[in-house]
Amino acid sequence: MKSPNFSYERKLWKRGFKLVTGADEVGRGCFAGPVVAACVVFNKAQYTKYNIPNTINIDDSKKLTPKQRENSDKWIRENAETFGIGEVSAATINRIGMGKATKMAFRKAVADANRRAKSRIDYLLIDAFYIPYIRGIPIRRKTARKNHKLRDGRARQRAVINGDEKVMSVAAASIVAKVYRDSLMQKIGKRKRYKKYDWVNNKGYATKKHQGAILKHGITGYHRKQFVDTFLRNRKSG
């Protein structure tokens, strides 16, 4: 099975883009907690010299064990040119919806990476879909012509299906986002009032224990109301 590599980044570096970032998100399907996005930029001048140790696995975060993710997250943070993390709370998800909240998380992640780098990312590789309204990183816009053009004449985003399995920087972003969110949910889950929801283990996903706790104790400010309402409606109709 093929692993993520730098082929997408190399093509963009050859076209003159310097800060090429890969981005991914975690937590869209949870009952509780924030949605988190991350982006990672590897160094154009150093990519051929990256000697990734055998103990480090950079791949779709879902394929890795928690220990593998933690080791890889540490290596990525120490060796990447820059990285960024964007978090959007359950309260905001409840207010504006998951779709808008996810895109907001991506924009926050890019802004965070720009701040750390003290420069502006100039190309975005993202898993599956495009993110509008990122300054300096436009997406394709339809014009009156048959073909697609950009307002500035140049695309700055590319959506890659299963990007976390193909693109090194996207895979790295999936790991950074996953480790950050898992750690956050574990910290929250250790608080006395939330222990009954078992977030330390389920990270906010809809396990049977989590569902049972919702039925018995109701929801909290960390829960996504629409997700839980759908679960309760389906349970009644079933």
In tens, the pLDDT along 70-121 reads 999 999 999 999 999 999 999 999 999 999 999 999 999 999 999 999 999 9
With a pLDDT cut of 70, the percent of the chain lying above it is: 91
Question: Is 207 inside any structural domain?
Answer: yes
Number of neighbours of residue 202 by Cβ within 10 angstroms: 20
Alpha-carbon gap, residue 176 to 129, rounded angstroms: 19
Which residues are bridge partners to 158 per DSSP? 125
pLDDT tens-digit series, residues 21-50: 999 999 999 999 999 999 999 988 776 666
Say whether pLDDT at 151 is over 80: no
Q: Residue 100: CB partners within 8 Å, gap ≥ 6?
A: none
Say whether pLDDT at 150 is over 50: no
pLDDT of amino acid 69: 98
- The larger pLDDT score, comparing residue 195 to residue 53, is at 195
Q: What confidence category does residue 140 fall into, taking pLDDT thresholds of 50, 70 and 90?
A: low
Alpha-carbon gap, residue 197 to 152, rounded angstroms: 49
pTM: 0.92
Residue-range definition of the domain harbouring residue 13:
7-237
Among 2, 16, 10, 24, which residue's Cα sits nearest to residue 125?
24
Say whether pLDDT at 149 is over 50: no
The crossing angle, in degrees rounded to 10, of helices 66-79 and 168-189 is 120
Provide the residue type at 192 as one letter.
K
Say whether pLDDT at 216 is over 70: yes
Tell me the CA distances in angstroms from 158 to 21, 126, 137, one per residue in order.
Answer: 11, 6, 10
The enclosing H or E element of 14 equals helix 7-14
Question: Is 228 inside any structural domain?
Answer: yes
Q: Please say whether the beta carbons of 122 and 18 come within 8 A.
A: yes
CATH number of residue 207's parent domain = 3.30.420.10
For the chain, what is the domain count? 1
Alpha-carbon gap, residue 18 to 13, rounded angstroms: 6
Cα dihedral 156, 162, 165, 166, rounded to 10, equals -40
pLDDT of amino acid 155: 80
Question: Is 133 inside any structural domain?
Answer: yes
Question: Is 103 inside any structural domain?
Answer: yes
Question: Is 2 inside any structural domain?
Answer: no
With a pLDDT cut of 90, the percent of the chain lying above it is: 82
Question: Is 38 inside any structural domain?
Answer: yes
Question: Is 141 inside any structural domain?
Answer: yes
Structure tokens given for 101: 């909240």
Question: Is 161 inside any structural domain?
Answer: yes
Alpha-carbon gap, residue 220 to 178, rounded angstroms: 22
pLDDT of amino acid 147: 41
